[in-house]
Amino acid sequence: MISIWRKAALCLVVICLFTIHAFAQVMISGTITDEKNNPLSRVSIRLGKQNTFSDSSGNYHFSDVRKGEYTIVFSHVGFETFADRITLDPAATATSVRNIILLAVSKELQGVEVTGRKEKGYKNSVTFAGTKTATDIKDIPQSIQYVTKEVMQDQGAVRMTDIVKNVSGVNQHTFYDDVTIRGFRNQGGVGSNSSTQLFNGLRTFNGFWRQSLLNYLERVEIIKGPAAALYGNANPGGTINKVTKKPLEEDRKSVNLQIGSWSTMRLNTDFTGPLNKDKTVLYRLNLGYENANSFRDLLFDKNIVIAPSISYLPSEKTRINLDVVYNKSDSRLDRGQSIFGSSDLYSTPISLNVADVNDFLKEKTYLVTASMSHQLSSHVTFNTSFLRTGYRQDLLEHRSTAFAVDKQGKQIQELALRRASMRHNEQFSNSFTAYLNVDVKTGPLAHTLLVGYDYNDSKIPVGSSQSDAAGYRLKDGTVTAKYVAKDSAKYEFYEYKGKMIPKPNVTSYDLTANQHRLLNTNSYIYQDNNTDVVVPYFSEQHSVYAQDQITFNRLKILMGLRYNYYIDNPGYATPAVTKVTQQSVLPRIGATYELTSHINAYATYATGYNPQSASSQNKVSGGPFDPLRSTLLEAGLKTEWFQKRLSATMSVYSIEQRNTLYNAMDPDNPDLLVQIGKEKAKGVELDVVGSILPNLTLIVTYAYNNATLEGAQGMTDSLYNHQQKPNAPKHQGSIWSKYEFTHGPLKGFGIGAGTYYVGDRTFGFQGTNNILPSKGPGYLLVNAALYYRVNKFLLQANFNNITNKTHWVGGYDNSRLYPGAPRNWLTSVSYVF
**718/757 same-domain check:** yes
**Could you give the CA distance from residue 803 to residue 817 in angstroms, rounded to a whole number?**
21
pLDDT at residue 3 tops 60: no
**52/180 same-domain check:** no
Tens digit of each residue's pLDDT (9 = 90 or more) over 656-696:
998 887 777 676 676 777 777 788 999 999 999 999 998 99
Q: Which of 336, 322, 163 is nearest to 764 (CA)?
A: 336
Whether 86 contacts 70, CB under 8 Å: yes
**Could you tell me what percent of the chain has a pLDDT over 90?**
61
**Could you give the CA distance from residue 376 to residue 384 in angstroms, rounded to a whole number?**
13
Q: Can you tell me the mean pLDDT for 410-439? A: 94
Q: Which residues contact 523 (CB under 8 A, 6 or more apart)?
A: none
**321/419 same-domain check:** yes
Q: Which of 472, 612, 588, 554 is nearest to 223 (CA)?
A: 588
Q: How far is CA 692 from CA 32, 57, 311, 729, in A?
A: 17, 23, 34, 30
Show which of 67, 101, 135 is a domain's final residue. 101
pLDDT of res. 107? 46
pLDDT of res. 21? 44
Q: Is residue 480 situated within a structural domain?
A: no
pLDDT at residue 719 tops 70: no
Domain CATH code at residue 50:
2.60.40.10
Whether 421 contacts 400, CB under 8 Å: no
Tens digit of each residue's pLDDT (9 = 90 or more) over 136-182:
999 999 999 999 999 999 999 999 989 999 999 999 988 898 899 99
Show which of 241, 269, 285 is a domain's final residue. 241
Q: Is residue 813 situated within a structural domain?
A: yes
Tens digit of each residue's pLDDT (9 = 90 or more) over 739-785:
999 989 999 999 999 999 999 998 875 444 444 445 789 999 999 99
pLDDT at residue 19 tops 50: no
Whether 741 contacts 749, CB under 8 Å: yes
For 625-638, give the secondary structure using H, E and C: CCCEEEEEEEEEEE
Tens digit of each residue's pLDDT (9 = 90 or more) over 464-514:
999 999 999 999 999 999 999 999 999 999 999 999 999 999 999 999 998
Tens digit of each residue's pLDDT (9 = 90 or more) over 283-327:
999 999 999 999 999 999 999 999 999 999 999 889 999 999 999
Q: Which amino acid is at 440?
A: V
The total number of structural domains that make up the chain: 3
Domain CATH code at residue 148:
2.170.130.10
Tens digit of each residue's pLDDT (9 = 90 or more) over 554-607:
999 999 999 999 998 877 888 878 888 889 999 999 999 999 989 999 999 999
**Could you give the CA distance from residue 244 to residue 549 in angstroms, rounded to a whole number?**
26
Whether 828 contacts 156, CB under 8 Å: yes
pLDDT of res. 716? 55
**Could you give the CA distance from residue 288 to residue 377 in angstroms, rounded to a whole number?**
41
Whether 392 contacts 425, CB under 8 Å: yes
**Could you give the CA distance from residue 387 to residue 366 in angstroms, rounded to a whole number?**
10
Q: Is residue 62 situated within a structural domain?
A: yes
Q: Is residue 116 situated within a structural domain?
A: no
**Could you give the CA distance from residue 541 to residue 586 in angstroms, rounded to a whole number?**
14
Tens digit of each residue's pLDDT (9 = 90 or more) over 454-463:
999 999 999 8
**674/707 same-domain check:** yes
**Which has the higher per-residue pLDDT, 519 or 58?**
58
Q: Which of 543, 347, 306 is nearest to 431 (CA)?
A: 543
Q: How far is CA 570 from CA 106, 535, 619, in A?
A: 45, 9, 13
pLDDT at residue 273 tops 90: yes
DSSP string, 322-372: EEEEEEEEEE-----B--STTT-TTSS-TT-----TT-EEEEEEEEEEEEE
Q: Which amino acid is at 802?
A: I
**625/735 same-domain check:** yes
Judged by phi (left if over 0) then psi (alpha if -120 to 50, else beta), residue 767 lies in left
Q: Which residues contact 370 (CB under 8 A, 6 or more apart)?
A: 320, 321, 322, 323, 385, 386
pLDDT of res. 428? 95
For 34-75, give the secondary structure using H, E and C: CCCCCECCCCEEEECCEEEECCCCCEEEEEEEECEEEEEEEE
Q: Is residue 494 situated within a structural domain?
A: no
**391/275 same-domain check:** yes
**781/667 same-domain check:** yes
Q: How far is CA 526 from CA 327, 334, 463, 468, 661, in A?
A: 31, 21, 18, 5, 29
**Could you give the CA distance from residue 91 to residue 21 in angstroms, rounded to a whole number?**
10
pLDDT of res. 14? 44
**230/247 same-domain check:** no
**135/230 same-domain check:** yes
- The DSSP output letter for 182 is T
Tens digit of each residue's pLDDT (9 = 90 or more) over 84-101:
778 776 665 667 788 888
Q: Can you tell me the mean pLDDT for 612-634? A: 75
Work out the burial of residue 465: count CB atoms within 10 Å of its CB; fewer than 13 is exposed, 13-18 middle, 19 or more buried: middle
**Could you tell me what percent of the chain has a pLDDT over 70?**
90
Q: Which residues contact 696 (CB under 8 A, 6 or more apart)?
A: 737, 738, 739, 740
Show which of 241, 257, 281 is a domain's final residue. 241
188 pLDDT tier (thresholds 50, 70, 90) = low
pLDDT at residue 22 tops 50: no
**Could you give the CA distance from residue 727 to residue 707 in angstroms, rounded to a whole number?**
10
Tens digit of each residue's pLDDT (9 = 90 or more) over 342-388:
678 899 999 999 999 999 999 999 999 999 999 999 889 999 999 99
Q: Is residue 513 situated within a structural domain?
A: no
191 pLDDT tier (thresholds 50, 70, 90) = low
**Could you give the CA distance from residue 283 to residue 249 in angstroms, rounded to a whole number?**
9
**Which has the higher per-residue pLDDT, 190 or 767?**
190
Q: Can you tell me the mean pLDDT for 776-803? A: 97
Q: Can you tell me the mean pLDDT for 267-284? A: 96
**66/200 same-domain check:** no
Whether 297 contacts 339, CB under 8 Å: no
pLDDT of res. 695? 93
**169/288 same-domain check:** no
Q: Can you tell me the mean pLDDT for 330-345? A: 88
Domain coverage including residue 209: 126-241
**Which has the higher per-residue pLDDT, 607 or 75?**
607
Q: Which of 289, 314, 292 is nearest to 303 (CA)?
A: 289
Other residues' Cβ atoms within 10 Å of the Cβ of residue 238: 30
66 pLDDT tier (thresholds 50, 70, 90) = confident
Tens digit of each residue's pLDDT (9 = 90 or more) over 105-131:
544 445 678 777 777 899 998 888 888
Domain CATH code at residue 593:
2.40.170.20
**147/182 same-domain check:** yes
DSSP string, 222-251: EEES--HHHHSS--SSEEEEEEE----SS-
**Could you give the CA distance from residue 369 to residue 389 in angstroms, rounded to a whole number?**
9
Report residue 486: phi and psi, to 5°: -70, -20
**Could you give the CA distance from residue 208 to residue 828 in angstroms, rounded to a whole number?**
28
Whether 480 contacts 470, CB under 8 Å: no
Q: Is residue 156 situated within a structural domain?
A: yes
**Bond from prior residue into 141 cis (ω within 30 degrees of 0):** no
DSSP string, 432-463: EEEEEEEEEEETTEEEEEEEEEEEEEEEE-TT
- The DSSP output letter for 771 is -
pLDDT at residue 229 tops 80: no
- The DSSP output letter for 599 is E
pLDDT at residue 703 tops 80: yes
Q: Is residue 507 situated within a structural domain?
A: no
b/e per residue 415-453 (b: at least 16 CB within 10 A): bbbbbbbbbebbbbbbbbbebebeeeeeeeeeebbbebe
Q: Which of 301, 364, 295, 296 is nearest to 335 (CA)?
A: 296
- Listed in order, strand segments (DSSP E) in 406-517 are 411-442, 445-460, 465-469, 472-473, 479-480, 493-496, 499-502, 509-510
Q: Which residues contact 163 (CB under 8 A, 6 or more apart)?
A: 147, 151, 152, 157, 214, 220
